[in-house]
Amino acid sequence: METAQLGVLAGILVPLGFFTMIFGIVYLNKREKLSMIERGMDPRSYKPQSAPYQNLKWGLLLIGSGIGLFLAFILDHTIFRYMDDEAFFLYVALIAIFGGAGLILSYRIEKKEVLDKDDVTLQK
């Protein structure tokens, strides 16, 4: 295909995909509300569940990813100076490892907080 044909194709597919996405979101939202009405629930009083530790999770994920990126940069410029081809994989691996470590730390903090709250309610 030539670039002119790709431009026309993209000009057709992008708006069509956008319309399909909006239609799907609205359709699924209405189906959810109808399902709630069928079960005897009031959809207006429905509020999504809050995630009290969401900021902690994202914060630790980004801190872990930043530490991994910084460590990969330091290793790339000191130890692996002559290995240009494998540097990309070093960055990806360390970002994934330290990002995962941040998520594990977030899980442990949340678990500790939940267990501490359960202990306080059981003592009362």
Contacts of 94 (CB under 8 A, 6+ apart): 68, 69, 71, 72, 75
The ranges assigned to domains in the chain are 3-45, 54-123
pLDDT recorded at residue 57: 93
**pLDDT on residue 124:** 60
pTM for this model (two decimals) = 0.59
From the number of C-beta atoms within 10 Å of its C-beta (0-12, 13-18, 19+), residue 7 rates as exposed
Sorting pLDDT into bands at 50, 70 and 90, what band is 123? Answer: low
